[in-house]
Structure 1
Amino acid sequence: MFSQKIVLDLSFNRRIQESQNYSRPTITLAKLIRSLPKLLSLDISGTNLAGAFSFDQNEELNYIKKELSIDENENFTIQSSIAGLLLLKHELEFLGLFDVDEKGSARRWLPAKKITGEHTEQMIMTSLSYYMERPSMLTHIMAHLFRLYNHYTIQNPYDAGKLVMDGMEKHLYDRSLQTSGSACLYYVVDLFQNESDIMLEKYNNYLKRLLITILNAMNAHLQHSPMIRNGLLTISRMQMHVPNHIMSAFEQTVIVLIKFIQLYLNECVVHEQILLHNALSVLNHVACSVDGQEKLFIGQAGAIETAVGIIRRFLIKKTSCEIVEVAWTLLWNITDETAENCRRFIEDNNGLQTFHDCLDLWSDKRDLVRNMLGLLGNVAEVKELRHYLVNPSHMEKFRILLKRSQDNEIEIPYNCGGVLANILSDGIEAWTISSSIEQHIVNQEIYDSVQTWDLRRQRTINYRSLAPILRLLNENYSTGCIMWAVWAMTNLTTVLPEKYCTLVRNENGEPLLSQILHSDKVSEPIRNLAQATLANVQRFYDAPVPMDIGPNDGLEI
């Protein structure tokens, strides 16, 4: 009965168990081969049964015949660089040589149709497929695959990536496997950076599966720093090379990122701060890529209270301004033209107190202050929330920041001016602090400050719509309010005409500007800016379209 056996598995995984070192590996293997004439599949992975790397086949065969008392006239025709296999009567269907001693899989003659091992890419691919049910082996194999990705020598990166995803999906709760697999998938994403749109469309389902595989791995191992690091790096790479594909699992991406940040906030995990910074940055990048309902979803998923919580934690520590800065950037982006998120920040999370506390501690951090004021600008665009800003304490800080200018930098005064302009647009009846600060004084301060700004100054702000500014182009509003709005329009259409001249026309800004231009209620400096903006738009649309004429277009000269 033993002679009928056709499959023999003697493999060990050296990562989880100590393999048996056979004292006479060649003779031991030869005995097995002799006793199993119908053997089709043999796995000696993780053992020393491959024997010595170098030998003379004829001498070794004669030695084996003598040791096993085989007639010296019996013929064996199989060529094999593993001495113990010289007694084979036919080629094997399968031979497992992964992680064997003496570079078993690197030898010249290996008598099998399919071979597992680490010497070639094909062997590694076969290993991934063959050992799919053995997670510890898969983890070891993925480490070898990673080297091919890392050195950019892999020939079939997408097929290998599919096998990696197969393994990760099958063994979700194996932490080591998920970490090794995610490291490979990072490089798979990297290979898409120069692909055409046609190719990206072809791999649409592949990339969606890859993203979901990474997110599932992160969600299952939120307390494992290497897995979280790999996951964040991979998603960041996708945002860089294939940004549209993040939307294929938008909600899951948001939920997993917020879940990780909340665990960090609640001190349920111990990770390096850089992972928190990276998670906030990735979530912020997602927020920058979406509008309307998607931004609302990010707020509903807990991003606002989580970001404010992170800020307050580092306020207590008085450290890590960089993390606080990216948290404010996230808040700025998810409140953009999203009134409900603005309300969550102000009413549900005591956002204005957080603003004051940060300003008191980090008033010298220019980018941080800019981001905070950008968020308050979003709040100020929501009529129902503006009354929260009309407060003597807030107003004094706004007035100071309005006049703050360093190295001709206008981001802080500009954002602050936007907050104040929106407040002024509600008129004198909404100005409930006249006993402390008179409205006309603030109005004049805005009017005067705006005229000192450089119209050609490039800025970091990115408007998806000009509607919040166009709303302020009303001849019946206060002069400071109108001045800020027309300056913004002139600056934007001067610095980035391709984007903003188009928006002015598409959003019907020209009639509003014309009304300001011809109004006798506004000052000459305001009319001049309105005229300059209209001229920018007209110049942009009147510019001749360049013709691309090649040398063989058949023109006669």
Structure 2
Amino acid sequence: MHESPGSLQEACIDYICDNLHDVCQASSTVDQAPEEQRLRFPWADMFLHRNLSDDLLAHLGERRTLTDEMLSLFDHKHTCLNRVKIRKADVSTKGLRVLKQHRITELEAIGLENVSVNDLVGCLGEWSLKNLRALNVANSSFRANARFCVVVSLSKLRNLQVLNVSGTEFDRHGLDIILEDLPVLENLDISETSIDDLSPLRKCKDRLKSLTMYNLRASHNEDIVNILCELSNLRHLDISEGFWGQNFFLNLEPIHLSAADLLNRHHSLPKLVSLDVSGKEGVCETLLKPFLNSHPNLQFLGLTTIDACHLPMFSEPSKPGFLDHLTVTGDASEAQIQEALKRYIMRPIFLQKSLDSLFTLTRVFAEPRLDIIKSILPVMKKHPTDLGVQMAATACIYNLTKSEMGQSLHTMWLGRIVTATLNAMQSFPSHQQLQKNALLTLCSDRILQEVPFDKYRCAELVMECLCTFENAVMIRMSVAICGILAAKISTEQTSRLGSKSSNMKRLLAIVEEKTAQKTLDITLRFTLSALWNLTDESPSTCKMFLELNGLHLFIRVLTVRNERVQAETKVLGLINNLAEVKEIRSALVKESLMEIICHFLHSTHIDVSYFAAGIFSHILSDDTVKWDLEKPSKDAMVQELGEAVLSWEEPSSEMVAYRSFKPFFPLLMCFRTPQVQLWAVWAMQHVCSKNVQRYGSMLRAEGVVDILQKLVYNAHCEQNVERLATKVLDMILTDSTNE
């Protein structure tokens, strides 16, 4: 069974975010610059309640497209913000001033580059300043200019209980100020800051409940363990350690904090329920057992990258002594890995380690695991430019969606998987293994046929991959994907994709190589499909094909025989697309090609004969094309065209698909050559007999029904043409009556 899709509210918010400028109206005054225009909802009495407002802003932020213009949408007359989340957004104080209108209790502003923390606090209203409970400014900046780190604005937040300043320039002076001025602060994250002295923590030793100091790389305190042990009310302590990447840490000495020393203090921190020592040295069973025995209320223990996570008491539920009340992070079990992915969302070193371990497990999974996919996707979104994370994640995703695994996943989740995969491809276009991981995931019939995603973006990225790498497996997957997607994107998009010379050269080079080797394999078949679909109703692509000598190459392809793979249909289908373009028809009238087309007109395979007949029909319908060939003669071709069409028996399945019937207009009006009309109406009756709902509405919308009616009542209409045209009209009438 498919996993159920997201809620209606999620779907609506996603739609608004994806179509913001269609749903909302832009307004500006005469003297405002275009970038200063505001957005507003089109309904004056519309109001989004608190949860909806918060979710809409958070979703816009997750897309990393949040701007001052978008922030203007959150006017207090129409929205009510309470828990604000803004991440790595290109916003300024001008846009953030909209926050003054709202009563905010929780504010998350991560990775802001254009606004300092002090300016951010200055954008809050009086109520928010007095009532803000939680502030997260991780990876933002306290610098008002290049020289000074200013934290004085935080002193205004007297009721602040939770503060996260990780990854900022926050220092010992700032720590001193906030612990003095924020009387109810009880949850503090100072990870990856330049704090060099933890002694100010003694000021809040009786009230601090949570302290996170991941990768805190410097301290002047030799007695740091003593300081921590004085925090008698502490429930959560994180002293984990991994590699660090912030420039201002590079010249600092390592922290003087030994996990072994802390664990040896068996009776310290009696209220502790959570301890993370991931990445620390010296953590072993001998130290852990006494500590755990003296802390019976401990519910979480972080042991990522530590061998102790493999101890049976942490990893083997069936063994005596397993601590089932304790949640552990590590790489010894699926449960440990999943917990690590959730807890360390901001720590790419731990995430990569966890994903590497997860990959080993996913290789043998036999059942769909949406729960694991839900853990991986946020990681990919959070770290789009981290190669290690994306490499491991894309490998896991493939294992979790391959073969039958993806059949039970709802298309919504598959769509999110595709988006994450495309993001990874875009971030690392030159990394072969990552691109291969992505292609393995994308090369799925269900994904390509049923799942909603940006198919043009996918086709672009896959084509770029095709042009970059020479790996045979990657080439096969790339052309297969492009061949399918080219039929699913708009004609404007196929034109952009196909008329790019580098793309066309690459596809033709593959055909050239296979033809020279006389190897008509599956890669060639996929490549021919891609070229066929890219040239469909795309004059610019057809012209590019001719300019790069594609026609000469395809004539050679038609001379190669192979019983296993029939290339003729695809080649003739593409030449049929060329014949639809008036400006280049004359280039097709050459003896070498026409003799081959004449040969295929008499093929016993109806699809081959059909496209050969189509090529002749388009050429013969155009009286501006000069037919000065001795062989075959024009009169002979006209006669053979009619005989071929009348000899066809209706195939059991649909052998062709059309985006539009507009190229048929000149054919239907070609009374001087009824054989041309005959091919056109036969084509229409064929597709209508297989899918009248789709093609009936298309024929009505494009005005073809009117043309067919005039054709039937025309005194000069040939009998067989009239018969087939009447059949088409009857099918369309029956279909419209049943609607």
State which of 627, 649, 662 in structure 2 corresponds to 1:432.
627
User: After the TM superposition, which residues 36-47 of structure 1 pair with which residues of structure 2 at under 5 Å, given as runs?
Assistant: 38=268, 41-43=275-277
**CA 1:315 to 1:306, structure 2 compared with 1: closer, same or farther past 3 Å?**
same
Map of 1:254 onto structure 2: 459
**CA 1:519 to 1:399, structure 2 compared with 1: closer, same or farther past 3 Å?**
same
State which of 104, 115, 124 in structure 1 corresponds to 2:328.
115
User: After the TM superposition, which residues 501-540 of structure 1 pair with which residues of structure 2 at under 5 Å, given as runs?
Assistant: 501-540=696-735
Note if 1:231 corresponds to 2:444.
no
Map of 1:56 onto structure 2: none
Q: Distance in 2 between matches of 1:33 and 1:111?
A: 21
**CA 1:512 to 1:329, structure 2 compared with 1: closer, same or farther past 3 Å?**
same
Map of 1:418 onto structure 2: 614
**CA 1:313 to 1:168, structure 2 compared with 1: closer, same or farther past 3 Å?**
farther
Q: Distance in 2 between matches of 1:514 and 1:459?
A: 25
**CA 1:379 to 1:362, structure 2 compared with 1: closer, same or farther past 3 Å?**
same
Map of 1:182 onto structure 2: 394
Note if 1:338 corresponds to 2:551.
no
Q: Distance in 1 between matches of 2:541 and 2:351?
A: 45
Note if 1:353 corresponds to 2:545.
no
For the Cα contact (< 8 Å) 2:459–2:481, is it kept in 1? no
**CA 1:162 to 1:336, structure 2 compared with 1: closer, same or farther past 3 Å?**
same
Map of 1:141 onto structure 2: 354
Deviation, structure 1 residue 503? 2.4
Deviation, structure 1 residue 354? 0.9
What residue identity is the alignment partner of 1:123?
A: Q
Map of 2:667 onto structure 1: 472
Note if 1:51 corresponds to 2:268.
no
Note if 1:169 corresponds to 2:384.
yes
For the Cα contact (< 8 Å) 1:3–1:36, is it kept in 2? no
- Provide the secondary structure at the position in 1 that maps to 2:301: strand
Deviation, structure 1 residue 389? 0.6
What residue identity is the alignment partner of 1:115?
A: V
Q: Distance in 2 between matches of 1:35 and 1:460?
A: 77
Q: Distance in 2 between matches of 1:324 and 1:431?
A: 33
Map of 2:567 onto structure 1: 368
Map of 2:226 onto structure 1: 4
For the Cα contact (< 8 Å) 1:8–1:42, is it kept in 2? yes
Task: Identify which range, 180-189 or 334-343, moves more after superposition.
Answer: 180-189
Q: Distance in 1 between matches of 2:602 and 2:719?
A: 23
For the Cα contact (< 8 Å) 1:50–1:104, is it kept in 2? no
User: After the TM superposition, which residues 26-41 of structure 1 pair with which residues of structure 2 at under 5 Å, given as runs?
Assistant: 33-35=263-265, 38=268, 41=275
**CA 1:42 to 1:334, structure 2 compared with 1: closer, same or farther past 3 Å?**
closer
For the Cα contact (< 8 Å) 1:284–1:330, is it kept in 2? yes
User: After the TM superposition, which residues 113-512 of structure 1 pair with which residues of structure 2 at under 5 Å, given as runs?
Assistant: 115-118=328-331, 123-129=336-342, 131=344, 135=348, 137-146=350-359, 147=361, 150-152=365-367, 154=369, 156-157=371-372, 159-166=374-381, 168-169=383-384, 171-172=386-387, 174=388, 177-186=389-398, 200=412, 209-216=419-426, 219-221=429-431, 223-224=432-433, 227-237=434-444, 239-240=447-448, 243-247=451-455, 250-251=456-457, 253-264=458-469, 267=470, 271=471, 273-301=472-500, 302-319=502-519, 321-347=521-547, 349-362=548-561, 364=563, 367-405=566-604, 409-427=605-623, 430-512=625-707
What residue identity is the alignment partner of 1:259?
A: E
TM-score (norm 1): 0.75
Deviation, structure 1 residue 287? 1.1
Structure 2 unmatched runs, 5+: 1-222, 229-236, 244-257
- Provide the secondary structure at the position in 2 that maps to 1:367: coil
**CA 1:9 to 1:372, structure 2 compared with 1: closer, same or farther past 3 Å?**
same
Deviation, structure 1 residue 473? 0.7
- Provide the secondary structure at the position in 1 that maps to 2:656: coil
For the Cα contact (< 8 Å) 2:525–2:565, is it kept in 1? no
State which of 66, 76, 96 in structure 1 corresponds to 2:302.
96
Q: Distance in 2 between matches of 1:366 and 1:478?
A: 35
What residue identity is the alignment partner of 2:337?
A: I
Deviation, structure 1 residue 341? 0.6
Listed one character per residue, the Cα deviations across residues 451-490 of structure 1 (whole Å, up to 9, x for unaligned) are 0001354233111212222431115241221121121122
Q: Distance in 2 between matches of 1:34 and 1:256?
A: 54
Q: Distance in 2 between matches of 1:320 and 1:412?
A: 17
Listed one character per residue, the Cα deviations across residues 67-126 of structure 1 (whole Å, up to 9, x for unaligned) are xxxxxxxxxxxxxxx524256467558522344343352265659976312466653233
Deviation, structure 1 residue 263? 2.4
Q: Distance in 1 between matches of 2:683 and 2:478?
A: 33
Map of 1:83 onto structure 2: 289
For the Cα contact (< 8 Å) 2:621–2:673, is it kept in 1? yes
Q: Distance in 1 between matches of 2:627 and 2:635?
A: 13
Q: Distance in 2 between matches of 1:30 and 1:110?
A: 21
Deviation, structure 1 residue 360? 1.6
For the Cα contact (< 8 Å) 1:489–1:533, is it kept in 2? yes
Q: Distance in 2 between matches of 1:296 and 1:259?
A: 16
For the Cα contact (< 8 Å) 2:385–2:427, is it kept in 1? no
Map of 1:16 onto structure 2: none
Q: Distance in 2 between matches of 1:419 and 1:363?
A: 23
For the Cα contact (< 8 Å) 1:30–1:86, is it kept in 2? no
Q: Distance in 1 between matches of 2:227 and 2:392?
A: 36
**CA 1:3 to 1:261, structure 2 compared with 1: closer, same or farther past 3 Å?**
closer
Whose helix fraction is larger, Structure 1's or Structure 2's? 1
For the Cα contact (< 8 Å) 2:585–2:625, is it kept in 1? no
- Provide the secondary structure at the position in 2 that maps to 1:532: helix
Deviation, structure 1 residue 333? 0.5
Q: Distance in 1 between matches of 2:459 and 2:715?
A: 51
Q: CA RMSD in A?
A: 3.6
**CA 1:153 to 1:143, structure 2 compared with 1: closer, same or farther past 3 Å?**
farther
Deviation, structure 1 residue 137? 4.3
What residue identity is the alignment partner of 2:540?
A: E
Q: Distance in 1 between matches of 2:415 and 2:559?
A: 49
Task: Identify which range, 121-130 or 149-158, moves more after superposition.
Answer: 149-158
Q: Distance in 2 between matches of 1:496 and 1:154?
A: 37
For the Cα contact (< 8 Å) 1:192–1:241, is it kept in 2? no
For the Cα contact (< 8 Å) 1:391–1:433, is it kept in 2? no
**CA 1:10 to 1:532, structure 2 compared with 1: closer, same or farther past 3 Å?**
closer
- Provide the secondary structure at the position in 2 that maps to 1:472: helix
Listed one character per residue, the Cα deviations across residues 332-357 of structure 1 (whole Å, up to 9, x for unaligned) are 1011111111111112x101111111
For the Cα contact (< 8 Å) 1:50–1:84, is it kept in 2? no
Listed one character per residue, the Cα deviations across residues 482-507 of structure 1 (whole Å, up to 9, x for unaligned) are 12112112222223222223322222
Q: Distance in 1 between matches of 2:297 and 2:408?
A: 43
Deviation, structure 1 residue 151? 4.7
Map of 1:22 onto structure 2: none
**CA 1:37 to 1:163, structure 2 compared with 1: closer, same or farther past 3 Å?**
farther
Aligned length: 478
**CA 1:364 to 1:518, structure 2 compared with 1: closer, same or farther past 3 Å?**
farther
Deviation, structure 1 residue 194? 5.9
Map of 1:69 onto structure 2: none
Q: Distance in 2 between matches of 1:241 and 1:164?
A: 27
